[in-house]
Structure formats: structure tokens, C-alpha cells
């Protein structure tokens, strides 16, 4: 029996790793920024779908400075990765994230609001904003269907290298 439990545990861990690996960034700062963005989107979907605007607004007010700093980190990520297309790709990401979270909520049906609404209580009960990133990471809110921190397309890498060479030769 012990071997069976060990085998099932090992199999579960091995099959879960590809899903977990899909959401890992090479930079901890980027990973944290995407997790906080997913938390913000989750709470926005909760507020909209569960008519809980007051608690969402309380979350935004309480963590406003941290959420703005997080948004700057996300913007910098997309700017570095996509250059002139950064805003389009950032908007696409935010939309895809909100849509995926909304679909998850629809899949839960009537259980969505009571089950996930507790997240407002939890996030508003944090001692300080310094705990926000760890809280977001612990919730594992980035849907499997949303890609984060994917490798830069080879055409973008080549374009960046060429632009860097041109800029350095002009100096």
C-alpha cells in the first residue's frame, strides 16, 4: 500500500511539473509581477461578476502604490520584449488574462462568488503591502491557458541585435 501511495504521489508530481514550468519566468521580479497582475485581474473579475465593487476599490486604494509599481514592471517587460508592439501585446495579455479568469468563474457557476469572494477578505487582511507578492504567488492564479515569460521570438531577438549594432555604430 505504501508503494502505491508513493507511486501515485510521484506520478502526480511528475505530471504537474509541465504545467508549473509553463508559468515560470527566468526573473523572479517578472514572475512576481505577473502573479500580482493575475491577482488584480482575479479580484477585478470577482468585483464585476459578484457585484463587489466596494471591496475591489478598497484593495486598489490600499495597494495603489504597489500596484502602480507592478504595472511599471509589467510595462517594462513588454517594452523590452516587444519594442514598438509593447502596448498592443500588453493589452492582449491583460485581455487574455481577464477572459481566462472569467471563463474559470463561469465554469464554477454559482460557486464562484462564495468560493473566491473570500480572497478579498484575505488580501485586505494582509499586514502590509510587502506581503502582496507572496500572497499572489501562493494563490497560483495565472491560468494555464495564459502564457507568461515566454522566450522572445527569434525574429524579435534578431531585430533587437541589429538595432543595438546600428545604435552602437552611430556613437
d(CA 151, CA 26): 10
CA 164 to chain centre: 30
Q: How far apart are CA 34 and CA 39, in angstroms?
A: 9
Q: Residue 150: pLDDT above 60? A: yes
Q: Residues 26-82: pLDDT tens digits?
A: 889 999 999 999 999 999 999 999 999 999 999 999 999 999 999 999 999 999 999
Q: Could you tell me the three cell numbers for 107?
A: 465554469
Does residue 165 carry a pLDDT above 80? no
Report the pLDDT value the prediction gives residue 14, as an integer from 0 to 100: 38
CA angle (97, 101, 102) in 5-degree steps: 115
Q: Please give the pLDDT value at position 110.
A: 85
Q: What is the pTM of this model?
A: 0.74
Under the banding of pLDDT at 50, 70 and 90, the label for residue 149 is: confident
Q: How confident is the model at residue 10 (pLDDT cuts 50, 70, 90)?
A: very low
pLDDT of residue 162: 47
CA within 13 Å, CB half, 91: 4
Give residue limits of the domains in the chain: 2-169
Amino acid at each position: 500500500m505504501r508503494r502505491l501511495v508513493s507511486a501515485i504521489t510521484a506520478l502526480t508530481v511528475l505530471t504537474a511539473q509541465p504545467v508549473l514550468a509553463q508559468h515560470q519566468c527566468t526573473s523572479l521580479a517578472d514572475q512576481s509581477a505577473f502573479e500580482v497582475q493575475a491577482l488584480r485581474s482575479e479580484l477585478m473579475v470577482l468585483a464585476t461578476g459578484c457585484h463587489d465593487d466596494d471591496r475591489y476599490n478598497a484593495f486598489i486604494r490600499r495597494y495603489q502604490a504597489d500596484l502602480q509599481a507592478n504595472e511599471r514592471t509589467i510595462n517594462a517587460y513588454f517594452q523590452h520584449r516587444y519594442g514598438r508592439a509593447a502596448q498592443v501585446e500588453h493589452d492582449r495579455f491583460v485581455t487574455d488574462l481577464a477572459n481566462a479568469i472569467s471563463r474559470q468563474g463561469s465554469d464554477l457557476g454559482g460557486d464562484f462568488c462564495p468560493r473566491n469572494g473570500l480572497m478579498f477578505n484575505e488580501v485586505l487582511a494582509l499586514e502590509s503591502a510587502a506581503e502582496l507578492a507572496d500572497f499572489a504567488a501562493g494563490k497560483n492564479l495565472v491560468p494555464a491557458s495564459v502564457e507568461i515569460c515566454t522566450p522572445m521570438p527569434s525574429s524579435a531577438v534578431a531585430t533587437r541585435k541589429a538595432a543595438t549594432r546600428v545604435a552602437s555604430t552611430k556613437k
